[in-house]
Structure 1
Amino acid sequence: MKKWGIFLFSIMLVLVLAACTANEEAGEDPENSDDENQEESSGEKVLRMNNGTEPTSLDPSIGFDAASWNVLNNLMEGLTRLGEDHQPQEAVAESWEVSEDGLTYTFHIREDANWSNGDPVTAEDFVYGWTYMLDPSTASSAAFLAYFIEGAEDFNSGSGDAEALGLEAIDEKTFEVTLNAPTGAFLNIISNPSFFPVNVSAAEENPQWYAEADSFVSNGPFMLESWEHSSELVMVKNQEYWDADTVKLDKVHWAMVDDVNTEYQMFESGDLDISEIPADVADQLIDGDNVVMEDQAGLAFYRFNVTEEPFQNEKIRKAIAMSVNQQEIVDYVTKMGEEPAYGFVAPGFTDADGNDFRETNGDLLEYNPDEAKALLEEGMEEEGYDELPQVTLSYSNTEANRVRAESIQQMINETLDINLELRSSESSVFLDEQRALQHQFTTSSFLHDYADPINALESFITDSSMNRTGWSNAEYDQLIADAKTEADEQARFELLYEAEKLLMDEMPIFPLYFYNQVYLYADDVNNIVRHPVGYVELKWADKQ
């Protein structure tokens, strides 16, 4: 699989770790150190990692972010699980059948799939968990992922009821799901932690079952041993897990340190086995033997508000986009080896013929100063502009966004002689204003919820809350709608290829660079799998 560039660390922290208070002393308590020494002397395999912050929630329906997924994906398991090749494979479900029309999936749950308390994992646990996610009173941010299920959108919006959901426990170990239309990415989508089951008896006995270690029940490779909130979380191997023989680690200690420099110091002192690289020492460390680069499905990009002048004009949008040199941004601004983005869909997704989506659809944008100047002149003539209206680039107030915005400002000015104004605001204010189309031109980012190109491209349909450009194209909407109902994978990808080309041709957005993940690993750590969609996988991890 093709590798992406290094993920800009300050951006990643803002995306998944912001607004949380972390204890920077985590992992440094002398009492903890004594425990760790005892573990090592006993021959236990103990992995020490940093989660950056307290998980938002270990309720699968609420913890819809990387800080929660890091832990949840290793404590629990759904019907499918992403394998070492990042493709969905059998997990709690040992097999399934699909109806001829592609609408009904019948899952057969393993007889030896148990919860950490010894209870069997049942079909009713999935009905309960998925219904809870869709219940409007739960207010799950992940609920939209399940709208492909019959009755799901109506129930979640308050216009339907749970009885109409296409979810049924046929018997204790048989779970049936009925879809609105054939969904090519279905098995991939349900590997997302939001689709994990919930132990019905545990949840009914204690609705806050997920909030403390002594009440948490898991069905995945690990179970929760202790949880000192905002300080440390400890997982131990789950002997009730159906595939426990594959799990090699005995324990995983998660620190909660929200500063990458402190994290790196802890790695250097041996208190952590893994660390990100601080940006100010990347030049010295990036080529080290203990650096591991992992795929990250997502990108940094910019949105135009096509309802505001001058960006109602396609040629002016293209002029701005073509005046930005993506290669220079990653070489001289972010300086961590990111891969320039010339399309919206990240590398790493393969179509029905095994071809990489990004390579197949090619470069849909190019840095071309001469063409940019010509397009700007043509666009201004079309709009009757003697002078371009003032353009303001708005961004969420982080150091990384500021540096990037200043670089974009300089490039656009040098190529097009446009004096771009910059405006920053606090993150939540910025996002509210962006959603309300109160900005002309904004910095943006996208990370996949599941491993399929449609997850990126559906962001720009007319009614999507992720659109935030004012752009609407009926042909594009239809391409995405058709792709969602196309059962033939080859035909589905052709629709997605066409949709991305249309998006990039009208250019309500323009891409900058693709994200990646980069880590320092201790010499004895191996087989950690980091899925491009953001789940870290410790099922196969080892310390030798």
Structure 2
Amino acid sequence: MKRFLSLLLTGLLIFVLAACTAKQGAGTEPAPTPEKGNDDGKKEEVATEKVLYLNNGAEPTSFDPPIGFDSYSWSALNNLMEGLTRLGTNHDPEAATAEKWDVSEDGKVYTFHIRDNAKWSNGDDVTAGDFVFAWKRLLDPETGSPAAFLGYFIEGAEAFNNSEGSADDVKVKAVDDKTFEVTLVSPQAYFLSVITNPAFFPINEEVATENPKWFAEAATFIGNGPFNLTEWEHDSHFVMEKNDQYWDAGTVKLDKVHWAIIDDTNTEYQMFQTGNLDVSDVPADLAEQILSEGKAKVEDQAGDYFYRFNVTMEPFQNVNIRKAFAMAIDQQQIVDFVTKNQQKPAYGFVSYGFNDANGKDFRETAGDLIKTNPEEAKALLAKGMEEEGYTTLPEVTLTYSTSDSHKKIAEALQQMFKDNLGVEVKLANMEWNVFAGEQTALKFQFSRSSFLADYADPINFLENFQTGLSMNRTGWSNAKYDQLIKDAKNEADEAKRYEMMYEAERILFDEMPIVPLYFYNQVNLENEAVSGIVRHPVGYLELKWADKN
């Protein structure tokens, strides 16, 4: 548990806004009438609905749990559905749909006992079979889930996902309707944390079999979490209402949550100022003033804002050219003068807050693996161009997903490349849902990205760049790196496991398929009437305990 608690020390997130636009009034709805007349002509009080107004930033990628693997889907999914375990207010995993579990002596077999009163929003029982169905679907190569690699700790999972084994070989089973068993390839200290991730949520097998697109509209959505999806006007807003079928419905205080879809931080802030939103990010231009006045809530976040090089496209097939571009970036200037939200500059990929076997912070022990150095950057660019036979560097386009904050960062990088390398870089932007698919398909030379930790362990940062994973998105491959990640996942000795991870991160930066800019934090303005919103360091909001007076 100490490892989970240590995550609270992690650095940094501005909730990345992207893609879609909405009208100014997208976050509002008529206020409830506070009182009415009775038969005697007297006024009597009517309970006011507790409605929380939030902004999702962009259209959710998908409310299909194994597909909606990003910040625009997670927060909503985390409140519409629930796994066997759930992150509590202290960010540690606790009993959720499963009321308890047993672990075998060797630490490899977990037997979960599902609550008798765990129900789907349509009144069906949540069964062990629903988890078997969902977890095998997550791993099915035909599903194409970007989160499938998270399940590789299950025996038979990786082979099935790589089309080298069958679904029958995946060691998950329903012992009976309310007993679910899973066998791991090795003991995993972070297993109970991983399965809080939306990718491991159950799916109502009967509903999904009858309607494979059950998740695409509010009218057909079936969940098992604190809230129901009751309205979804795509690219405009969606609405959740309290789920009276939820096993812990008595804890849920909000009646409704209205999510606007607005991709501009300044518009979001203006709506907060006029009372049309209860929560807002802080616009960079106002950050210094707002933070100095102590008006913003600043909370920890495990993740990175970074850029990916496509090593299969010119000129970034050359490691020295990649390093030249990386060393031309001044991370400190980005956080000081562009984002202005008290983030820490990132000179490695694993963020702060993870303690190794000696009690030392991973990031501090690993040290800085990249540093701003314009002179060396110019020398490396010249060397790389000579190696490739370039007299002129091929044209470079930097692509980002549509957002005012992403645009400002891209423009700052563009100027740094001009000043520090003498290279003119073109900028291009694209709406989030299109951008994500194109990046995965390796259509961009050089593109922005972000990573929010899925669970509380450094391996989660590093496993993304294994050969062929959909989260890699660089075309980079290194056999030694792959083996180190695989060995670390199966290593019970914590000291040895951390040494493997330190070495893997060094390899990643020796070859530089990515360049980090800063570690995330969460900086938010919040209506004083709102309480109990939990922002998990792994990247999503928890509204189960939220209230509004």
TM-score (norm 2): 0.83
Alignment of 1:490-509 (within 5 A): 490-509=495-514
Tell me the alpha carbon deviations over residues 98-149 of structure 1, each in whole angstroms, 9 at most, x when there is no partner.
3344432221223343334544332122112223334455444433433333
1:26 lines up with 2:43 in the alignment = no
Partner letter of residue 479 of structure 1? Answer: L
Partner of 1:299: 304
**What is the DSSP-based 3-state SS (H/G/I as helix, E as strand, rest coil) of the residue aligned with 2:544?**
coil
Query: Pick from 529, 532, 536: which aligns with 2:534?
Result: 529
Q: Hey, what's the Cα distance between the residues in 1 that align with 2:28 and 2:270? A: 11
Contact map agreement 2:187 2:492 (CA 8 A) in 1 = yes
Q: For structure 1, which segment, 500-509 or 214-223, has the greater mean C-alpha deviation from structure 2 after superposition?
A: 214-223
1:4 lines up with 2:11 in the alignment = yes
Partner of 2:365: 360
Contact map agreement 2:34 2:48 (CA 8 A) in 1 = no
Partner of 1:392: 396
Residue 305 of structure 1, CA deviation:
4.9
**What is the DSSP-based 3-state SS (H/G/I as helix, E as strand, rest coil) of the residue aligned with 2:301?**
strand
1:421 lines up with 2:425 in the alignment = yes
**What is the DSSP-based 3-state SS (H/G/I as helix, E as strand, rest coil) of the residue aligned with 2:181?**
strand
Contact map agreement 2:12 2:302 (CA 8 A) in 1 = no
Partner of 1:13: 17
Query: Pick from 329, 336, 339: which aligns with 2:341?
Result: 336
Alignment of 1:186-335 (within 5 A): 186-204=191-209, 207=212, 209-211=214-216, 213=218, 216-224=221-229, 226-230=230-234, 231-306=236-311, 314=319, 317-335=322-340
Alignment of 1:127-146 (within 5 A): 127-146=132-151
Distance 1:222 1:465, change over 3 A: closer
Distance 1:116 1:13, change over 3 A: same
Partner letter of residue 26 of structure 2? Answer: A
**What is the DSSP-based 3-state SS (H/G/I as helix, E as strand, rest coil) of the residue aligned with 1:266?**
helix
Distance 1:404 1:40, change over 3 A: farther
Distance 1:394 1:214, change over 3 A: closer
Tell me the alpha carbon deviations over residues 73-115 of structure 1, each in whole angstroms, 9 at most, x when there is no partner.
1122101112223232222223323334443222122334333
Contact map agreement 1:405 1:422 (CA 8 A) in 2 = no
Residue 254 of structure 1, CA deviation:
2.9
Contact map agreement 1:22 1:54 (CA 8 A) in 2 = no
Distance 1:212 1:412, change over 3 A: closer
Q: Hey, what's the Cα distance between the residues in 2 that align with 1:507 and 1:495? A: 18
Residue 409 of structure 1, CA deviation:
4.2
Distance 1:472 1:247, change over 3 A: same
Partner of 2:40: none
Contact map agreement 2:27 2:55 (CA 8 A) in 1 = no
Q: For structure 1, which segment, 398-407 or 190-199, has the greater mean C-alpha deviation from structure 2 after superposition?
A: 398-407
Q: Hey, what's the Cα distance between the residues in 2 that align with 1:258 and 1:402? A: 12
Q: Hey, what's the Cα distance between the residues in 2 that align with 1:315 and 1:137? A: 37
Partner letter of residue 108 of structure 1? Answer: H
Q: Hey, what's the Cα distance between the residues in 1 that align with 2:191 and 2:296? A: 34
Contact map agreement 1:130 1:195 (CA 8 A) in 2 = yes
Partner of 2:69: 64
Q: Hey, what's the Cα distance between the residues in 1 that align with 2:170 and 2:409? A: 46
Tell me the alpha carbon deviations over residues 331-362 of structure 1, each in whole angstroms, 9 at most, x when there is no partner.
12333333210111122334456543323322
Alignment of 1:349-498 (within 5 A): 349-351=354-356, 355-369=360-374, 372=377, 379=383, 383=387, 389=393, 392-396=396-400, 398=402, 400-416=405-421, 418-424=422-428, 426=430, 441-498=446-503
**What is the DSSP-based 3-state SS (H/G/I as helix, E as strand, rest coil) of the residue aligned with 2:31?**
helix
**What is the DSSP-based 3-state SS (H/G/I as helix, E as strand, rest coil) of the residue aligned with 1:253?**
strand
Q: Hey, what's the Cα distance between the residues in 2 that align with 1:124 and 1:509? A: 40
**What is the DSSP-based 3-state SS (H/G/I as helix, E as strand, rest coil) of the residue aligned with 2:113?**
strand
Residue 42 of structure 1, CA deviation:
0.9
Q: For structure 1, which segment, 361-370 or 520-529, has the greater mean C-alpha deviation from structure 2 after superposition?
A: 361-370
- The unaligned stretches of length 5 or more in structure 1 are none
Q: Hey, what's the Cα distance between the residues in 1 that align with 2:111 and 2:300? A: 32
Tell me the alpha carbon deviations over residues 506-532 of structure 1, each in whole angstroms, 9 at most, x when there is no partner.
433322112233221011212211122
Contact map agreement 2:53 2:277 (CA 8 A) in 1 = yes
Q: Hey, what's the Cα distance between the residues in 1 that align with 2:388 and 2:50? A: 70
Q: Hey, what's the Cα distance between the residues in 2 that align with 1:40 and 1:276? A: 35
Distance 1:424 1:527, change over 3 A: same
Residue 170 of structure 1, CA deviation:
0.8
Contact map agreement 2:27 2:54 (CA 8 A) in 1 = no
Q: Hey, what's the Cα distance between the residues in 2 that align with 1:391 and 1:40? A: 68
Residue 236 of structure 1, CA deviation:
3.6
Q: Hey, what's the Cα distance between the residues in 2 that align with 1:186 and 1:217? A: 26
Partner letter of residue 338 of structure 1? Answer: Q
Contact map agreement 2:319 2:384 (CA 8 A) in 1 = no
Partner letter of residue 395 of structure 1? Answer: T
**What is the DSSP-based 3-state SS (H/G/I as helix, E as strand, rest coil) of the residue aligned with 1:493?**
helix
**What is the DSSP-based 3-state SS (H/G/I as helix, E as strand, rest coil) of the residue aligned with 2:519?**
strand
Contact map agreement 1:151 1:160 (CA 8 A) in 2 = yes
RMSD: 3.7
Partner of 2:56: 51
Distance 1:140 1:23, change over 3 A: farther
Contact map agreement 1:349 1:452 (CA 8 A) in 2 = yes
**What is the DSSP-based 3-state SS (H/G/I as helix, E as strand, rest coil) of the residue aligned with 1:218?**
coil
Partner letter of residue 31 of structure 2? Answer: S
Q: Hey, what's the Cα distance between the residues in 1 that align with 2:460 and 2:368? A: 20
- The unaligned stretches of length 5 or more in structure 2 are 1-7, 37-43
Alignment of 1:74-223 (within 5 A): 74-156=79-161, 160-204=165-209, 207=212, 209-211=214-216, 213=218, 216-223=221-228
Contact map agreement 2:463 2:485 (CA 8 A) in 1 = yes
Count of aligned pairs between the two proteins: 532
Partner letter of residue 59 of structure 1? Answer: D
Residue 473 of structure 1, CA deviation:
2.9
